[in-house]
Structure formats: C-alpha cells, structure tokens
Amino acid sequence: MTNDFPSNTATLLNRSLRHIARSPDTIITTAITPIGMLLLFVYVLGGAIHTGGEKYVNYLLPGILLITVASGIAYTALRLFTDVSTGIFERFQSMPIARSALLWGHVLTSLVANLISLVLVVLVALAMGFRSGAGVGAWLGVFGILVLFTLALTWLAVIPGLTAKSVDGVSGFSYPLIFLPFISSAFVPTGGMPGPVRWFAENQPVTSIVNTIRNLYAERPFGHEGWIALAWCFGILLVSYALAMRTYRHKIA
C-alpha cells in the first residue's frame, strides 16, 4: 500500500467488511436486541401507552433506530480494540500508508454495518404495521440524520477502542448510550414525567433527534426542533472527532 488516503481507506474498509461478511452474526446480534424491544413494547406494553392517536409502532420506531446504532458502535470499539491489543495496529503503522486511514476504515465499516442493521429493523417495523406517506425528501432527511448520528457515535467509540485496557472496559462504554433513549420521548411522551426527569428528557439530544425523525416521516414540518437535532448531531460529531484524533495522535506518538 502507498501513502494515499483514499485508496488506503478503501483497502482497510474492504478488509473490515470481509471480516463482517465472514461473521455476519455481529450485524444480526446488533439488530436482535432492538427488534426484541420493538416487539416487546408494541405487543406487550403499547396498549397502555397513549401517544395522541398515533400508531405506537410509528411513535416507537425512531427511538429503536437510535438504540440500534448505539448497539452497533459497541462492535466498532471492540474491533478497534482487538486491532490495537493484538498488534495489528502497530503493524499497519509501520507500513507506508496514511495514518488516519486506519481510523477511517473502522469508522466507515461502522457506518455500513449500522445501515444494514437499521434496514433490518425497519423491515420488521413494516411487518408490524409501520406506515408512512412521507415523500423522498423527508426520507432523505431521516437518512441524513441517522448517518450523522452514526458517525458521531462511531467517532466517540474510537476513543475507548484506542484506550481501553480490557474487553469489558471497551464494551461497557456503550451501555449509557443504549439506555439514554429511555429517558427521552422515544418510548412515551415527556408530558407525564416528573419535573426534573421531564426537564432532562426534553433537553437531551435523543429527544430532539427522535422527534425530528418522527416529524419527517409523519409529514410534519421540520421545525425548530429539527435544527436543534442537527446542532446536537454536528456538535457531538465535531467534539468526538477532535477527541478521537487527539487520542490517536497520543497513541502513535
């Protein structure tokens, strides 16, 4: 390999995708938990949750999609940790390749794998009765937000992937991200929550992102909350990228 960022990144991306193709259970495992939650909440708990007349599967889906991404990026951190702990990382560093291509290979692999998992979840939701009359523009908006959210969390996952000392350490960081949607508008409207919990739920990033996705496929205006969601996605992405690159430079120094 030569020191050419695009071709180096493409080569490393191809390497990671081949690993996933040989072991598709990572994608299946990533999708199983969100699908199980989708089934549980819609068929067991959904009848007791009031969403103002909206079908509960339609109300619930955005939060399940974010949980799918949060579950998937745990594998990104694990794959990066494995490369670091087994010495593959150092071996690549000794070759004439662009240094940042090592990280981008993992990041783009995460994006592809998570998009596949998201498609599986949406297909199950369709089988459960999810329907939307939204046009192409609205669905492109949903796609864009999910891509930004995935990239933001993936760069965040790079940090423990580079610094963790054990498998438990690298896996544990994703748990708060998976549980954050539970204290948001993802599963129930925030209006019935106690005061402090409601304030937190309404001012954390998951609520604005979930509400924006829900508004887009329900053919409602993008609105002020949509810009807040974009600000959260871009803000987390920029901060995560900066911290990840700083950690990486320290790691290879």
Q: What is the pLDDT of residues 102-128, one digit of tens each?
A: 788 888 888 888 998 899 999 999 999
Could you tell me how many helices (H) and strands (E) the chain has, helices first? 11, 0
What pLDDT shows up at residue 221? 87
Cα dihedral angle (46, 196, 206, 217), rounded to 10 degrees? 50
Contact 15, 105 (CB under 8 A): yes
Band the pLDDT of 45: cuts 50, 70, 90. Answer: confident
Task: Give the mean model confidence (pLDDT) for residues 219-242.
Answer: 93
Tokens representing residue 90 in the block: 């150092």
Residue 1 has pLDDT above 50, yes or no: no
What is the b/e burial string over 108-118, where b = at least 16 CB atoms within 10 angstroms of the residue's CB? bbbbebbbbbb
47-51, 58-62, 77-81, 134-138: least confident range: 47-51
Contacts 24+ apart (CB under 8 A), 32-41: 33/67, 33/71, 34/64, 34/65, 34/67, 34/68, 34/71, 34/117, 34/121, 35/120, 35/121, 35/124, 37/64, 37/67, 38/64, 38/121, 38/124, 38/125, 38/128, 39/124, 39/128, 41/187
What pLDDT shows up at residue 15? 77
Distance between CA 207 and CA 210 in Å, rounded?
5
